[in-house]
Amino acid sequence: MNTLYLDGQSLLHRLSTRAKLGGLAVFSVFLFAIGHPALLGIAAIAAAFAYASTGIDWKPGLARLRPAFITIAAVTIFALLFQPPMEALIILFRLTALMLAAAAITATTTIGAFIDTITWAAKPFERIGLVRAADIGLSVGLVIRFVPEVTLRYRSIRDAHQARGLKVRPVTLLVPLIIQTLKNADEIAAAIDARGIR
């Protein structure tokens, strides 16, 4: 599984994660507060510039945006049916600006930087006793570590079904997957405790 981060030296790459996330929040509020299509169009163009500045190539850059843009196009068409065309234009610009800004931040922020920021943000909750900030990074690491194993187990179960001539059905596939995966929990927990990680 490759992350969506791309190495580079742009301005966005050099900004701190907190600044980028804060900026995105402010940008979102701005986008929803403004109702004028011209201003929203300018915002969309600015976001497009930000995305282009990350240094991403044309093809992968557009490929990333495609799923989101398909839904935006569908919504715009739907909106044209039920609402005046100016409204549909506002929706189009607003959502496109959001999509581009978010994609720009994703392309310029490493997983490590995100985890550091989230751990920092969770510290106040740690004082209340709601969560341990270090647990967040640990859990993310655990999931990344175990996804390949779960995928492999899924394929083995599916192959075992097919070898026995059974049709591949969701229930008969998922139940062994869940039980076998979760049964490892005790061993893994013991390994974590033995290493004093937590």
Partner 1 sequence: MSTRDLVLVALFAAIIVALGLVPPVSLGIIPVPVHAQSLGVMLAGVVLGAKRGTLAVALFMLLAAIGLPVLSGGRGGLGVFMAPPSGYLYGYLAAAFVTGYISERFVQSGQPGIVQGTYFFVAALAGGVFACHLLGVLWLAYVTGLGLQAAFLGTLAFIPGDALKALIAAFAGRAVMVGYPLLPSRA
Query: Applying CB under 8 A, does 67 fall inside the site for partner 1?
Result: yes
Query: Applying CB under 8 A, does 16 fall inside the site for partner 1?
Result: no
Closest contact distance (angstroms) between CB of 42 and partner 1 is: 19
Query: Which residues in the 127-146 window bind partner 1 by CB under 8 A?
Result: 131-132, 135-136, 138-140, 142-144, 146
> Of 39-47, 53-61, 101-109, 120-128, which part binds partner 1 (CB under 8 A)?
101-109
Query: Applying CB under 8 A, does 120 fall inside the site for partner 1?
Result: no
Nearer to partner 1, 38 or 149 (CB): 149
Distance CA 175, CA 13 (A): 43
Long-range contacts of 133-141 (CB under 8 A, 24+ apart): 134/198, 135/198, 138/192, 138/197, 138/198, 140/111, 140/115
Query: Applying CB under 8 A, does 52 fall inside the site for partner 1?
Result: no
Query: Applying CB under 8 A, does 44 fall inside the site for partner 1?
Result: no
> Of 40-48, 53-61, 91-99, 119-127, which part binds partner 1 (CB under 8 A)?
91-99
Distance CA 59, CA 124 (A): 42
Distance CA 139, CA 133 (A): 11
> Of 39-47, 53-61, 69-77, 119-127, which part binds partner 1 (CB under 8 A)?
69-77
- Exposure letters 97-134 (e unless 16+ CB within 10 A, then b): bbbbbbbbbbbbbeeeebbebebeebeeeeeeeeeebe
Of 65, 122, 126, 133, the residue at the interface with partner 1 (CB under 8 A) is 65
> Under DSSP, is residue 169 helix (H, G, I), strand (E, B) or coil?
coil
